[in-house]
Amino acid sequence: MADRADTKSVMSELVRRINEDARRLRASEQRIEKIEASFSALEERLLMQLSDLKLSLERIGSKISAVSDRIVAMENDISRINKELSKTASKTEVKQLETYLEIINPITSKFVTKDELENALEEKSARKA
């Protein structure tokens, strides 16, 4: 009978240990499932953020391309303007033209007529004589 009681206590101890191990195994499985669910959610968020980042980078790339195109257009315009400016008269050239115009302007200039010139030459030659 003692043998039977020992066997029964051993069996109940084994059952208790198996139940405890099964409980611990279930708890471990639940923790693993939670970790897998968290990992899966993180993975999904990461993929969404990567796709958002990719779209943002594409937008930034297109904006940079547009700015680059505008800069090239501006450089071309500046080059064209510089060529046009090189064809224009400089400040000194304009001053020279003003001077020439002032010299030949009939309103402000005093021209000598042929008769006045002849009279002045006759007076000069009469003084010498």
pLDDT digits (tens, 9 = 90+) for 67-78: 999 999 999 999
Reported as a pLDDT band with limits 50, 70 and 90, residue 62 is very high
Closest listed residue to residue 110, CA positions, set 99, 102, 121: 102
Task: Locate 120 and state its tokens.
Answer: 């002045």
Kindly state the average pLDDT of the residues 62-88: 94
H or E element: which one contains 38? helix 2-87
Reported as a pLDDT band with limits 50, 70 and 90, residue 4 is confident
pLDDT digits (tens, 9 = 90+) for 9-57: 899 999 999 999 999 999 999 999 999 999 999 999 999 999 999 999 9
Task: Locate 27 and state its tokens.
Answer: 């708890």
d(CA 9, CA 11): 5
d(CA 47, CA 41): 10
For the chain, the domains span 1-62, 89-129
d(CA 119, CA 129): 15
